[in-house]
Amino acid sequence: MHCNKTLLALTCALCWAGPALAQTIENEAALKTAVSQQVSSLMQQQQIPGMAVAVLWQGKTFFYSFGQADVAAKTAVTPDTLFELGSISKTFAGVIGAMALERGDIKLTDPVAKHWPALTGKQWQAINMQHLATYTAGGLPLFMPENVTDKASLLSYLQQWQPQYAPGTQRVYANSSIGLFAHLAVAAGGNSYGEVFQKLTATLKMPNTYLQVPKAAQAQYAWGYNEGKPVHIGTGVLLDEAGGAKASVRDLATWLNANLRPEQVTDPLLRAGIAKSQQRYAKSKDMYQGLGWEMLDYPVTVAALTAMTAPEFVAGTAATVLAPPAPAVANSWVHKTGATGGFGAYAAFVPSRQVGIVLLSNKRYPNALRVELAHKVLENLK
C-alpha cells in the first residue's frame, strides 16, 4: 500500500452499502449487469473517473471497462489501459522471493545480515528473512524518509534504525520490509529485481506490465486523480518491489489466473514460486500472511475482510511467525489491496471455488469499499 500517510488514516473512513444484488449470478449476462450496477454506483459515490474490472469464473475471464483514463483528453478506459497497482506489486515481490527460496538462494531462517553483511548493527542480529517477508522485523517504516535516495543512504538509515518490538512479535505493514526481502532475495541469485520481474512477466505473456512505463506505452497509461489533479507515481528506493508496478486489467487477470491455477504454469520454478507464495508464514488475528498475498479462511464475511484491511490493523497487530510455514489452504480468500496517490486497486481469488476478481481505478478510495464490492460479486457467482 504505497500512499500518503494522511490518506492511509482515512482509508476506511467512509461507508458504502452499494446496490443489493437481487439474485445469484448464473450466466454472463447476469454477471455483466451485476458488475455494471456495483461499479457505476461506486464510481458515482466516490467520484472515480475510471475503472477496469476482471472477473474469473467458470474457467473464463470477463472484462468490463468504465469511465475515463484521462479526463482532460476524454480517453476511455479499456482492458489494456495501464493502472498503477500500488501494493499489489508486493504479490510479484512475494512470488519472486519464493522463487529464490525454491532455488536455494536464500532461506527463511537466514539472518538478514547474511545477505547484506554491511548491516552490522546489533539490532539486525536477530532479524531473519522471514521477518522481513512478513512485516515482523520490529517496526520498519511504511515509507522511507526523503533522504533515503540510494543504497548507501538506505544502509545508513537501516544501521541507525531501532526496532520497537522483538522480531516476530508484531506485524507492522511496511514497504521497506518486503521491499528489502525481495531486493536481497534476487541479489542472492546474482540478479536485479527489474531483470527477474521482466522475465516473469514475459514468461506469463503479460506485455502490458511494467515497473517503468516506456515511451511507447505512455498513451495507454491512465492518469491518476488526487483531489481532481492528474498524478503519476514517482520513483524511490525499494519502490519497484513494494509498490511500483503498473499493469492493464487484462495482464493482472493473467497474473491472477496463474496464482489461481499454478499447475497450469509451464515454467517449473515460477510454478513452484507461485504455489509457495500462498503458504502461511505468519498469523495476525484472522489473517495469514503469505509472501505478498494475504489469506483468510473461507468462507469469510465482509466484516472480517474489512477488519484485516483497516488502517488500525495495517499500522500494527500482534503476530505469530509460523516456522516452518503452514501449507497453502485451497479454502482461502486470497487477496491484496494496493494504492498510490492517484490510484486504487484490489485483487482477490478463492482457489477452492476457482473464482477471482480484479478492481483497478484511477482514484484512491477506501479499502472497505473494494472488499465489499469484490465479496458481493464473488459470493453471488453460482
Least Cα distance to 53 among 248, 207, 199, 218 occurs for: 248
pLDDT at 213: 98
Is the predicted pLDDT of residue 220 greater than 70, yes or no?
yes
Single-letter code of the amino acid located at 6 = T
Q: Name the DSSP letter for residue 381.
A: B
Entry pTM: 0.95
% of residues, the chain, pLDDT over 70? 96
Residue 262 structural domain: 5-380
Residue 267 CA to residue 206 CA, distance in Å, equals 15
pLDDT at 14: 47
Residues 87-116: tens digit of each pLDDT: 999 999 999 999 999 999 999 999 999 999
pLDDT at 16: 59
Q: Name the DSSP letter for residue 222.
A: P
- Phi, psi (5° rounding) for residue 333? -90, 110
Q: Note if 41 is an active site residue.
A: no
How many structural domains are present in the chain?
Answer: 1
Residues 157-181: tens digit of each pLDDT: 999 999 999 999 999 999 999 999 9
Choose, from 41, 65, 87, 248, the residue flagged as catalytic. 87
Domain of 296, CATH number, reads 3.40.710.10
**Residue 342 CA to chain centroid, in angstroms?**
16
Predicted confidence band at 4 (pLDDT cuts at 50, 70, 90)?
very low
Cα dihedral value 329, 335, 336, 337, nearest 10: -150
Three-state DSSP state, 338: strand
Residues 9-46: tens digit of each pLDDT: 333 334 557 888 767 999 999 999 999 999 999 999 99
Beta bridge partners of 128: 111
